[in-house]
Amino acid sequence: MPSAANQKFEVRQAGTAISQITITESTVSPTITATNDIRILISSTLNMSWDSSDTSATVGGTASAKVNGTVSYPDQKTLLIDVIEDFAADDTLTIDGLSFKDFLGQSDPANLQLSVDGGLGVATTDPKTVRIWDWISPVDVVNGVPDCCDLNGPGFIIDNNTDTGNTPWGNGYALFDMGDTYTVTAIRVYTNSAVYNNWDISIGDDTTDCTLNSYATMVKDEWYVPVDNEWYSTKIDPPVSGRYIRIDKDAGGGLVDKGLREVDIQGFKTAESRQLRLVSAADQTFEKDQASTPIQTIGITYYPTNGAITAADDIRISIPAGFNMTWDTTDPAAASGLLPIPWLEQAQLPQMVRLAMLLKAVGAEEEESLFTIRLTRHR
């Protein structure tokens, strides 16, 4: 079940069309039936969902007449395609015209999953990946004295517009100021990479020796960016802390017009020492058929570099899909210091609780906020 391409999304991105999915039936023992239908599952590790407002799929392939083009969603992670006739060996089905939404948090690459046994198991996974990034833009380009950059119009590299970029200058690097010391876990660039492909990246605490290729700590040496104009990202592993990031094309000569268009990082302020956290007070063990049981207190620690917790997006705490238990929706009130928590309809979302932020939205002005949430029971 391959998608046409890998997909990358950003936190808080608007709903986005899927890459076309192609399902090919076994040539030996067909398994897709009208009894069990087709389910395409979003991995539980991906912080996104299907857009359930898209119920009309564009279907193609030799089996297109064997399915209903009107689809449904048993829950936010599951697309259900109604099969009206059993597939034959080597039948193909393409699915398009649907969307993903709710990109609520960073997620490492994961794969869509195919279930053809009524949702009991996974028959195969998509070889292409989906990932979600949360990016931070530098606040400035170091320019002037000391002469770390001296670009004309350097703000065009940090204006969040990939159509702009640096104006030509004789050197091949730029020094970016994050405005504070960050622990950097990843970086991405948008370049005019038809001109050059390899980049060196260094991270430092000050601007001393900023004109030198030996500046600070080099985290990427000759990082290859393919020959096309797109975003490309790379992890910084292990993470490195610093306020300034130097990006240098690994070749002689200067930067041509728009040779470097945009630069972003991923990470967190080093002084904050950690990212957004969700921690229960203790491990919990349950037994099959056990009565509804109180959960341990859940603590959520928030920092401004995690992005805003808003009244528009709320807070959702989900039970992993592989756990055979649900939230007890008869307990609508949590001891959280907020108003009672409304549950999503069980038929819509059986494994997730939605914490409505009815009192206020936590914004970037908050230095630190700790929400302690105690829900009465789950079952």
Q: In the predicted model, what is the mean pLDDT of residues 291-298?
A: 81
**Which pLDDT band holds residue 151 (cuts at 50, 70, 90)?**
low
Residue that wins the pLDDT comparison between 166 and 305: 166
**Rounded percentage of the chain residues whose pLDDT exceeds 70:** 78
Structure tokens at 70: 């009107």
Burial class (CB in 10 A: 0-12, 13-18, 19+), 230: exposed
Residues in CB range of 138: below 8 A, 6 or more apart: 158, 176, 177, 178, 179, 245, 263, 264, 265
| pLDDT > 60? residue 137 | yes
pLDDT band of residue 23 (cuts 50, 70, 90) is very high
Long-range contacts of 153-161 (CB under 8 A, 24+ apart): 156/261, 157/260, 157/261, 157/262, 157/263, 158/262, 158/263, 159/262, 160/262, 161/262
Query: What is the distance between the alpha carbons of residues 337 and 359, in angstroms, rounded to a whole number?
Result: 10
Quickly state the pLDDT bin for 272 (edges 50, 70, 90).
low
Write down the pTM of the prediction: 0.54
Three-state DSSP class for 235?
strand
pLDDT of residue 24: 94
Q: Are strands 130-133 and 7-10 parallel, antiparallel or unpaired?
A: parallel
Residue 255, both tokens = 């930067």
Percentage of the residues of the chain whose pLDDT score is greater than 90: 35
Whole-number pLDDT of residue 333: 60
Rounded to whole angstroms, the Cα distance separating 188 from 225 reads: 10
Measured over all CA atoms, what is the biggest interatomic distance in the chain, rounded to whole angstroms?
A: 72
Mean pLDDT of 153-182: 82
Q: Does the structure show a pLDDT above 60 at 164?
A: yes
Confidence label for 58 from pLDDT (cuts 50, 70 and 90): very high
Query: What class is the 7-133 domain?
Result: mainly beta
Task: Give burial (CB, 10 Å; 0-12/13-18/19+) of 30.
Answer: middle
Mean pLDDT of the chain: 79
- Report residue 372's pLDDT band, with 50, 70 and 90 as the boundaries: very low
The most confident of 136-140, 179-183, 206-210, 258-262, by mean pLDDT: 179-183
3-state secondary structure of 285: coil
Q: What's residue 270's pLDDT?
A: 81
97, 67, 109, 308 alpha-carbon torsion, rounded to 10°: 50
Residues 182/210, Cβ–Cβ less than 8 Å: no
The Cα–Cα gap between 247 and 210 comes to 10
**What pLDDT is recorded for position 245?**
94
Domain definitions of the chain by residue range: 7-133, 140-271, 274-379
pLDDT digits (tens, 9 = 90+) for 63-119: 999 999 999 999 989 999 999 999 999 999 999 999 999 887 778 889 999 999 999
Omega before 154 within 30 of 0, i.e. cis:
no
In this predicted structure, what is the pLDDT of residue 55?
A: 94
* Confidence at 144, pLDDT banded by 50, 70, 90: low
Dist CA 379 CA 129 (whole Å): 33
* pLDDT of 354 higher than 60: no
Instruction: Choose the CATH number for 140-271 among 3.90.1300.10, 2.60.120.260, 1.20.1250.20, 3.90.1150.10.
Output: 2.60.120.260
The reported pLDDT for the residue numbered 371 is 41
CB 21 within 8 A of CB 99: no
Across 108-146, b (16+ Cβ under 10 Å) vs e yields eebbbbbbbeeeeeebbbbebbbebbbbbebeebbbeee
Judge whether residue 177 has pLDDT over 70: yes
Better pLDDT: 237 or 228:
237
Mean pLDDT score, 160-169: 81
Tokens of residue 99, six digits: 């969307």
Is the distance from CB of 199 to CB of 220 less than 8 angstroms? yes
Does the fold of domain 140-271 match that of domain 7-133? no
122 or 267, greater pLDDT: 122
**pLDDT surpasses 50 at 378:** no
Closest Cα to residue 144, out of 182, 180, 175? 175
DSSP letters, 71-86, are -EEEETTEEEE-BSSP
Quote the pLDDT of residue 157: 82
State how far the alpha carbon of 135 is from the alpha carbons of 160, 186, 193, 374, in Å: 11, 9, 21, 31
